[in-house]
Chains A and B, each alone.
Chain A
Amino acid sequence: MVSEFVFATVQYDSGDWDSAPLVPANIIDAVARYTSIPVRPSGVNVPLASPEIFGYPFAYLTGHLPVRFSEQERANLREFVERGGFLFIDDHNHDIDGAFHKTATEEIARTIEPLRELPNDHPLYRAFFTFEDGPPTTSHELNGWGDNLVHEHLLAVERADRIAVLYSNKDYSSEWSYHPDNKRFLSLDNTRFGVNIVVYALTH
């Protein structure tokens, strides 16, 4: 038996942490489909303020609404990152002037350190599939909502040459929010980048 990968969605007191309930199943499906990494068939929701968070070194955080962490949430997040956890944050608004982006990046800066642009030749983009141009564009970036921009880079906080916090304005939460069975209607599986994120977290 090898310890399974568990996709954990972070619950936080402020905002709408559960705005993308279909993403975990879709990423779990992609990891199981393309890799031999043992993966638990269903994800878990874990409160950031709870010590349970340390049992899930990969954590996904999203939402539309302003984010304000409690002191306990901040302490746990700081500890989570220091011990080697990987936090993937996706702005469900894909809006750099939006409430989520402003408050979430501010919280990360306050709790850990400011996010910085991740270069598009980072190993993340070759961890499993190769993305020559950096983060794949989503169909939601130009859908008339949000800032109507194609965001060239992801943001990150790094620790000892590895990504500890990965931050996206590209709204992968909308892009990957569909039932996994419907992948067969896509000419190119758009969750492949999700596999890269998981493989990177497990190997770096």
Chain B
Amino acid sequence: MRLRTNEWRRRAELTCRLAAFALLGWALFLSLRPVRELALNALVAAEELPESLRRWAIGGAPDSVHVRLDSVPDAAWRDWLVALRRAGTAVGWSGTLAPLAIAVEPVNAPAGGAQLLIAGAVGDSVAVRDAIGPLDTLRLSGAGGALRVSALAEPAQATLGPVRALAVSGDSLVPGAVLVLGTAGWEARYVIAALEESGWRVDARLTIGPGISVRRGVPGTVDTARYVAVIAIDSAGAGESRRLVSFARAGGGLVLSGIAAALPALREVAPGQSGARVQPAVVAFTAEAPRRALGFFPVSRPRRDAVALEMRAGVTAVAARREGLGRVVQVGYDESWRWRMQGGERGMEAHRQWWSSLVAGAALKRATQRDLPGIEIAAAAPRVAVVAALGDAVPPLQATTRLPGRTGPHWWILVASVLLLLLEWTSRRLRGAR
């Protein structure tokens, strides 16, 4: 029995001795480990950011970080800084990060294409390119800059010095069909020609006698499933007025040309009343103001929510308003065909573009969602993304550092080692061993 007790005691003494040596070995390791300075306030340049972030993630973050940004940090580094701030480190930035933003909008016309909208400081020269190559250089005005391209290899890119903004269009538009209702005449005939030449698919019902009409295409019921826009050239669409109102309220584009806005049922959705016809201001068409050579029915008494799109001699020639989910455009001109025929070299093309843009402005946009090819939304406005993530730019702080304490947290190792050795020695002496 006595022999068994001594055996347990010896094992305990051995354990104490080994534990004491282990603690002393650990203390030796800690004392020999290289010591790094801990930053209280760290000041880093953009190019140093990746390495600094990695170091802070392993060795502890400073109390505050200030980043000098002359170029836009990658989204990953920006998000890492946000995470650092949320973990308690004050993060600020400063630098000459130029404000620049780009947006891509598909053009709502059968020919397709895209419009690039650039925002930035007035006077800045911004280089614009797509995935294939340079497109143009724009000098920004107070309204920014815009560039229309017939085809775009996404992403679109605007570059100003080291700042680069990238964008893709979020959707693509599917141009739909247009229905033209009117009396057989030159206005209907040339509006149809202008739209068809612009690429629109056009159906038409042209009245040539009581109850008799000529059909172009396969004109069907007026609804938004079939048509994106309906053009009422004159009063010939009177029989379908109620349906046209419903069409606009359901999201269709309704273009009321000439006296169509005077039809009783259409008055309730028209942007205004149809006034007495104004005679042409000039005889000859000019390239600068070609529609001055056209007579028109002014949009009189415009409704409160109507927007004047074109003024002539103090009265409104073209106006638009929203009706339900759709739009109604009132076009006072009733002989725009003269512009095409008598408007000189540019007349035909200008007439075509004008009608196509009118219809595009009114037409229901059928958008299809697209998968964005790896471009984050924040890339379209880099400075905005930085401000949203890190706040406004602030003046840089002086960088300060401190050394971590060498002995502070490790005194208990020595105490524990001494106690273990003392315990082992006392036990050994009490049982008579040496």
A interface list, Cβ under 8 A from B: 1-5, 34-38, 51, 54-55, 57, 82-85, 127-128, 160, 199, 202-204
Residue pair A37, B341 in contact (C-beta under 8 Å): no
Please determine whether A203 and B234 come into contact, CB atoms closer than 8 angstroms: no
With a 10 A CB-CB cut-off, give which of B184, B188, B190 has the most chain A CB atoms: B184
A51, B338: Cα distance in complex, Å: 12
Which listed residue, A34, A38, A55, touches B341 by the CB 8 Å rule?
A: A55
Give the CA-CA distance A127 to B183 in the complex, in Å. 15
Query: Which residue of A36, A82, A83, A160 contacts B183 across the interface (Cβ within 8 Å)?
Result: A36
* A contact residues around B221 at 8 Å (CB): none
29 contacts between A and B (CB under 8 A): A1-B277, A2-B259, A3-B185, A3-B334, A3-B337, A5-B185, A5-B186, A35-B212, A36-B183, A36-B207, A37-B184, A37-B185, A51-B342, A55-B341, A57-B189, A57-B190, A57-B337, A83-B348, A84-B189, A84-B340, A84-B341, A85-B341, A160-B196, A199-B208, A202-B185, A202-B186, A202-B206, A202-B208, A203-B216
Q: Is the CB of A37 within 8 A of B183?
A: yes
Given B209, B334, B347, B348, which contacts A2 in the complex, CB threshold below 8 Å?
B334
Question: Using a Cβ–Cβ cut-off of 8 Å, how many residues does chain B contribute to the interface with A?
Answer: 35
Q: Which residues does chain A contribute within 8 Å of B214, judged by CB atoms?
A: 127, 199, 203
Complex contacts, A203 vs chain B, CB 8 Å: 184, 188-189, 204, 206, 208, 214, 216
Alpha-carbon distance A128/B182, docked complex (angstroms): 17
Q: How far is the CA of A35 from the CA of B208 in the complex (A)?
A: 5
Contact partners of B210 in chain A: CB under 8 A: 36
Asked if B130 is at the interface (CB within 8 A of a chain A CB), the reply is no
Contact between B183 and A2, CB atoms less than 8 A apart: yes
- CB B277 to nearest CB in A, in angstroms, measures 7
Q: In the complex, A55 Cα to B188 Cα: how many Å?
A: 16
Asked if residues A3 and B209 are in contact (CB atoms below 8 Å), the reply is: no
Taking A35-B184, A36-B209 as given, write out 7 further A-B residue pairs in contact, using a Cβ cutoff of 8 Å, ordered by the A residue number: A4-B185, A36-B207, A51-B342, A55-B341, A82-B348, A160-B197, A202-B189
10 closest Cβ pairs, A-B complex: A202-B184, A203-B214, A54-B341, A54-B342, A35-B208, A35-B209, A2-B234, A36-B209, A2-B183, A203-B184
Residues on B with C-beta less than 8 A from A55 are 338, 341-342
**Interface check B335, CB cutoff 8 A:** yes
Minimal beta-carbon separation of A122 from chain B (angstroms): 15
> Taking CB as reference atom, which chain B residue is nearest A58?
B186
One digit per residue, 1 when the CB lies within 8 angstroms of any chain A CB and 0 when it does not, for chain B 248-277 equals 000000000011000000000000000001
| Complex interface: chain A residues within 8 A of B189 (CB) | 57, 84, 202-204
Verify B190–A199 contact, CB threshold 8 A: no
A160 to chain B, nearest CB (A): 8
What distance in Å separates the Cβ of A204 from its nearest Cβ neighbour in chain B? 8
A75 to chain B, nearest CB (A): 12
Provide the residues of chain B in CB contact with A37, threshold 8 Å.
Answer: 183-185, 208-209
